[in-house]
Structure 1
Amino acid sequence: MWTKILTMIIVINLIDIGISKPASGTSEENRQLPEKKNSSIRLKLDKPGVKYGDHYLCRAERIEERRYLTEIAPVKSWGANHKSSLHACPRPTVEEHGAVWPCGEMSASLFDRDHEHYAVCHPEYDGLVLYEFGDEQGDEVGTPLKLPQGVSFEVGEGTKYPYLVVKVYYGNSMYYFSGGMTVYGDDDLPGITYLYQTEPTRYEAGVMLLINDGVLRPNSDMPENENVLDVVCDPTSMHRHTSVIAFAYRVHAHSRGVLISGFRLRGSVNQEWTLIGSRSPQEEQRYYPISNPLQIRPDDCLIARCQYDNPTNETIMLASRREREMCRFHIMYYMERPVAHANETSEERFWENFCVAFSPIRITDMSDYLGDIPKWVEEVSLKKVN
């Protein structure tokens, strides 16, 4: 079985970590700060004679207690990986203890072709991307994600996300041959490290995801060669019943992606457009802070635009495979954790956390619903392509 081809270890260290004083005026100011602990999930590949380069691999850890994650960062092995991510899953694709599975573009030389494209989380469940670091050159360590004071991701036993899954991309095969190449120790294994506490924070973090799963047409088929896919999520397509504060965003596309932008649209008469964030998916695909954190209300409309450059004559399906394309705009938010509902997860008391569009209709074709699109919206979401 392919699950026996690879083995992996989880290294967990518990140490005392000091944290800064909460902002003045919070309810936490006059009480003792909770202890923070450090944990890491790392990969170890030790099958002799197997080439591990150019592969995504995953390993899940079931968290047997409630943990509140406040900081996430990559653990980089020298020359080993240049992409890693941490996911929260209701259920991973593979639950077998100690199993490692292919969770991206896999080569049939390493795994049976029937098992090439396993997902991170089980396809029947929606997971969250808590952190991702990507450096195409493999030179950088990665920017840690530090949540605002008093904010955390709730994971573990009794929550919607009892599993954490680490995903690592092995981009340089020369380091993974047994015999003749250097074998690294446990302290130099790639993976993810995170800070957590076992006492709830005042605010709970979550992620909303705007997706277009349609098709990418050639540039020549698009008006003025402006090749875009739009996502419009009105209150009926993403149900929610409380307001949140959005404080970070992340974009994701593959090689043809040029620019991805997100907006909040408020009001049905005097409509107000606000930019959430805009960035090229060819830059480091991590969460970036929103310049001015903004409130998202239940009656707000959320909009994303993905711009591409497809100079070929081919129509490309949107899917997770590398040769396909993707259109994803992530919004990281926080909300107050209701004391009366301490045993509920955020999604049970909040809203659906994703919205999917399949239509190629542009926002400029939806004036009956969206009204007149401000000129600056078009300008900020379109980049000149040579």
Structure 2
Amino acid sequence: MKTAIFPVLATSLLVCISCVFAHEVDTYDFLMPNVWPHKDELYLCTPIRIAPTTNYYIVGFVPQASMHTAHHMLIYGCSEPGSNGTVWDCGEMQNNEIDDMFPTANPCGSGSQVVYAWARDAPSLNLPKGVGFHVGRDSSIKYLVLQVHYMSRFPQKVTDKSGVSLKYTKKRLPRQAGVILLGTGGYIFPNHVEHMETACTVMEEKVIHPFAFRTHTHSLGKVVSGYVVRRSDRGDEWKLLGKKNPQLPQMFYPVVDKTPVRKGDVLAARCTMNNTHDYPVKIGATNNDEMCNFYLMYWVENDTPLKRKYCFTNGPPYYYWENAPEGFNRIPDGEASTL
């Protein structure tokens, strides 16, 4: 495992901190160490350990990958990595099968949270001014883990070093970034258009400021939409955070409504899926399965991000907004499924 990685670049950074450009940003290339994807539908993870004596703020992400090589990439923040190895098979949704080349483990051993996601040749992401993902000494993120999903086996002796270049600074930033991932389980009946839906109430005494969203499905996804729902005696107010065709580059797009989200508000997402096959399709890890994900990126002012990092339901046919425990009304049924 690579340890104390950011100080490798500390010489140039320290020079800049002592000069007038106090907010100098440096770059660290977080890449797969020339791995050989030896089988189809392989998820591989590699970790870096953040220097434990220093705080860092990640302010940008530059993908170093192609959709022809990597189906998608995730960067997880972890308190502990899933393995102490350099590379491991981290297909969380596989059926605990034994890999004959790599040890098998989850991306994180504890403290799992999504920091960044990429797919379909999405471009670089720069966070708003004053916003950064806090990692290192005073953060719960002590490790970063890069996960790459390889759909197809590589030929012998052909290796890969896909990954992400991280832009970072050691200057303290007043706004900490966070991500909450909304998603579902469930399955889609044959020759059927299905709504896969999820919702969670914000229960923490925090004010979060949404600024970007990302959608993710496999081939059956047509529209993915996300909302903040504000409850009142007059009825529910559904405010659109964002919606996209998930077959487009799966980048982080600016949110539609930047109104702060507070305790008692509900975050909700829907994936409209069109299963044209003569067989059911389930949520799963392979490209023959499906996924329904809506990522919401936000910042908090002089505070820490939400403790809750994930919002998942069982999905269809078990969970829908119309029968959710929250008792929703005024559901924007047509708007949520059309572009």
TM-score by length of 1: 0.72
How many angstroms apart in 2 are the aligned matches of 1:44 and 1:114? 13
Matches within 5 A, 1:96-175: 96=85, 99-104=86-91, 111-112=99-100, 118-122=105-109, 125-128=111-114, 130-135=115-120, 140=121, 142-170=122-150
Deviations 1:167-216 (A, max 9, x none): 23446756x533xx7x89xxxx4321111111210101101122222x21
**Aligned-pair CA distance for 1:312:** 4.0
**1:90·1:127 contact (CA, 8 Å) conserved in 2?**
no
1:255 aligned counterpart, secondary structure: coil
**Partner residue in 1 for 2:313:** 357
**Partner residue in 1 for 2:156:** 177
Taking only the aligned residue pairs, the percentage that are identical comes to 24
Q: Which amino acid aligns with 2:127?
A: L
**Aligned-pair CA distance for 1:13:** 4.3
Structure (1 or 2) with the larger CA radius of gyration: 1
1:323 aligned counterpart, secondary structure: coil
Higher share of residues assigned strand: 2
In the superposition, relative to structure 1, how do residues 253 and 121 fare at CA in structure 2: closer, same or farther (>3 Å)? farther
**2:179·2:295 contact (CA, 8 Å) conserved in 1?**
yes
The alignment's C-alpha RMSD in Å is: 3.7
**Aligned-pair CA distance for 1:303:** 1.2
**1:218·1:311 contact (CA, 8 Å) conserved in 2?**
no
| Structure 2: gaps of 5 or more residues | none
**1:86·1:131 contact (CA, 8 Å) conserved in 2?**
yes
How many angstroms apart in 2 are the aligned matches of 1:303 and 1:78? 28
**1:79·1:172 contact (CA, 8 Å) conserved in 2?**
no
| Structure 1: gaps of 5 or more residues | 20-30, 339-345
Q: What count of residue pairs does the alignment treat as equivalent? A: 325
**Aligned-pair CA distance for 1:285:** 2.2
TM-score by length of 2: 0.81
Determine whether 1:244 maps to 2:208: yes
Higher share of residues assigned helix: 1
Which residue, 54, 60, 64 being the options, matches 1:75? 64
Matches within 5 A, 1:169-248: 169-170=149-150, 177-178=156-157, 189-213=161-185, 215-219=186-190, 225-235=192-202, 239-248=203-212
Matches within 5 A, 1:1-386: 13=9, 15=12, 33-45=22-34, 51=38, 55-64=42-51, 65-76=54-65, 81=70, 83-96=72-85, 99-104=86-91, 111-112=99-100, 118-122=105-109, 125-128=111-114, 130-135=115-120, 140=121, 142-170=122-150, 177-178=156-157, 189-213=161-185, 215-219=186-190, 225-235=192-202, 239-270=203-234, 271-312=236-277, 314-338=279-303, 346-347=304-305, 350-358=306-314, 360-365=318-323, 369-373=327-331, 377-383=332-338
Deviations 1:136-188 (A, max 9, x none): xxxx5x411110000000112342111111223446756x533xx7x89xxxx
**Aligned-pair CA distance for 1:336:** 0.6
How many angstroms apart in 2 are the aligned matches of 1:207 and 1:78? 23
